[in-house]
Amino acid sequence: MRAPAFPNLYFLFCIFSLVILFVFLDLSYGLTVDSVIATVNNEVITFSDYQRFVASIGAGNTGNKEAVEEALLKRLLEEKIILHEAVRRGIESSDTEVDKAIEEFKKQKALSQDDFEKMLAEEGTDINSYRKFIKDRIILSKLVSEGVDSKVVVTVKEIEDFYNTNKKDYLIPEKVEVKAIFLRLNKDASITEITDLKQKVLGIVSHLKEGDSFESLVSQYSDEPLKSRGGMLGEFERGTLIPLLDNKAFSMRKGEVSEPIWVSEGVYILKLKDKRGESYKTIEDVRKEIYENLHVKKGEKLFNEWMKTLWEKASISIKITK
Residues 137 and 198 in one domain: no
What is the tens place of the pLDDT at every residue in 176-214? 999 999 999 988 899 999 999 999 999 999 999 999 999
Residue 252 within any structural domain of the chain: yes
Pick the closest to residue 153 from 53, 291, 20 (CA basis).
291
Residues 60 and 115 in one domain: yes
Strand order of the sheet with strand 266-276?
A: 232-237, 175-184, 266-276, 261-263
d(CA 114, CA 132): 19
Residues 149 and 72 in one domain: yes
In sequence order, what DSSP letters do the residues of 182-201 get, joined into one string?
EEE--TT--HHHHHHHHHHH
Domain total for the chain?
2
3-class secondary structure per residue, 133-170 = HHHHHHHHHHHHHHHCHHHCCCCHHHHHHHHHHCHHHH
Q: Which residues pair with 192 in a beta bridge?
A: none
Residues 248 and 194 in one domain: yes
Judge contact between 217 and 204, C-beta under 8 A: yes
Residues 178 and 221 in one domain: yes
d(CA 305, CA 302): 5
Residue 3 within any structural domain of the chain: no
Q: What is the pLDDT of residue 63?
A: 53
Residues 29 and 117 in one domain: yes
Residues 148 and 16 in one domain: yes
Structural domain harbouring 16: 10-154+289-318
Residue 294 within any structural domain of the chain: yes
Q: Is the peptide bond before 225 cis (omega within 30 degrees of 0)?
A: yes
Q: What is the pLDDT of residue 135?
A: 92
Residue 182 within any structural domain of the chain: yes
Cβ contacts of residue 112 below 8 Å, gap of 6+?
A: 106
Residue 310 within any structural domain of the chain: yes
CATH number of the domain within which 69 lies: 1.10.4030.10
Residue 166 within any structural domain of the chain: no
Residues 196 and 107 in one domain: no
What is the tens place of the pLDDT at every residue in 33-49? 788 899 999 899 988 88
Residues 187 and 94 in one domain: no
Residue 169 within any structural domain of the chain: no
What is the tens place of the pLDDT at every residue in 209-264? 999 999 999 999 999 999 999 999 999 999 999 999 999 999 999 999 999 999 99
Mean per-residue pLDDT, 84-102? 93
Distances (CA, A) of 94 to 7, 149, 307: 18, 21, 25
Helices (H) and strands (E) in the chain, counts: 11, 9
Residues 54 and 124 in one domain: yes
Residues 150 and 293 in one domain: yes
CATH number of the domain within which 210 lies: 3.10.50.40
Residue 307 has φ and ψ, to the nearest 5°, of: -65, -35
Judge contact between 22 and 40, C-beta under 8 A: no
pLDDT at 19 over 70: no
What is the tens place of the pLDDT at every residue in 261-291? 999 999 999 999 999 999 999 999 999 999 9
Residues 222 and 116 in one domain: no
Out of 97-106, 128-137, 177-186, pick the least confident. Answer: 128-137
Residue 164 within any structural domain of the chain: no
Strand order of the sheet with strand 316-318?
A: 43-46, 36-40, 316-318
pLDDT-based confidence at residue 20 (cuts at 50, 70, 90): very low
Mean per-residue pLDDT, 76-103? 93
